[in-house]
Chain A
């Protein structure tokens, strides 16, 4: 069966510090991968998605970036965090292109607090 791992679960970082959040998927090949941010009491904002290694699409201009160095690894990064980057970050995967009726499967999230 497929599993998704996301870490760390919580993170407290000072303004201006770098960020690296990691997500890995097991049990499937060539998944679509996604990074979302959820502000407190709000819906999901899609940040990045990827349909393959090295293929990253950005949905919202910001100081974050994403990379996919391996088929089942998705990394969210920042060189300098802003206060507005605080939130709950969720990684998700879905079956590859051509499976539009398939749902997304989410990790447990990372709660990021910027001080």
Chain B
């Protein structure tokens, strides 16, 4: 079956530091890949997505590149802000009923 493995947290960074959250996946076929963000007490919001190999998704300064050869989709941001503090989920979807497989989430705390 499908699986998503995320870098374990929590991750604590100072403002303006560089962020990387690792994500690797196992899937049959050619899944689409997603990063979601969850702010405290809220549901998940789509942050970015990539639908095929070598695609780069980007949004709000975050980027992730679909690497089929390493089955990875690492999330990066060059300069984090306090407002980026949240839980980040990596996920894949490979069709059917549109079911997605989620990683366990990585909690990011950015300190001023």
Contacts and interface: CB of A to CB of B under 8 A. Distances in A.
Interface of A: 6, 32, 34, 41-44, 46, 49, 51, 57, 90, 92, 94-109, 111
A94 to B, nearest CB: 4
B49 A101 contact: yes
Contacts, number: 70
Question: By CB atoms of chain B within 10 A, which of A42, A43, A102 has the most?
Answer: A43
B96 A97 contact: yes
Given A99-B98, A100-B93, A108-B42, A42 B105 contact: yes
Interface in B42-83: 42-46, 49, 51
Interface residues of B, number: 26
Contacts of A109: 41-43
Contacts of A43: 89, 102-105
A97 B95 CA distance: 7
B32 interface: yes
